[in-house]
Amino acid sequence: MTDPADEIHVLLVEDDPGDVLMTQEAFEHHKLRNQLHVVSDGVEALAFLRREGEFADAPRPGLVLLDLNLPRKDGREVLEEVKNDPTLRSIPIVVLTTSQAEEDILRSYDLYANAYVAKPVDFERFIEVIRQIDDFFVSVVKLPQ
């Protein structure tokens, strides 16, 4: 039996409804005990993380899964703002995107992303990647409280 204290909140920042659905299905399929929260653009992501407006009661995520190509404020801008904010910078951010461009990979790490993962197009592989990310960041890595 898992301790509810081991549960973490995961914030998925993703504007593609299909990718949101696949991520939700991956969490359900693998019976991941973590709470998945979803926002669809960079402005909402920062409001959630800063607990502003409609997100005033939002939990502090233990992990952020961040797409790069987002409306209103893209993932690179979100990553930069989070990692420059002393109250948020310790939250691990995994860039989870379709881009395999070397410049995006380098820029993400330059902005202190904790990992960069290219989204697989195959459904089964996508689900496995989500499970592995969850496994690593929740079971293997010690996260700040």
**pLDDT tops 50 at residue 35:** yes
C-alpha closest to that of 133 among 8, 39, 5, 1: 8
pTM: 0.89
Pick the most confident of 24-28, 80-84, 138-142: 80-84
Dig out the tokens for 102 from the structure: 């070397």
pLDDT for 75 equals 94
Q: Which long-range contacts (CB under 8 A, 24 or more apart) does 125-128 make?
A: 126/22, 126/26, 127/22, 127/25, 127/26, 127/29, 127/30
Cα–Cα distance, 51 to 57 (Å, whole number): 6
Helix or strand (DSSP H, E) at 9 = strand 9-13
For 43-97, write each residue's pLDDT tens digit.
999 999 999 999 999 999 989 999 999 999 999 999 999 999 999 999 999 999 8
Write down the residue that tokens 């005990």 correspond to. Answer: 33
Helix or strand (DSSP H, E) at 24 = helix 17-29
**pLDDT tops 50 at residue 2:** no
Write down the residue that tokens 């197009």 correspond to. Answer: 121
C-alpha closest to that of 127 among 30, 38, 39: 30
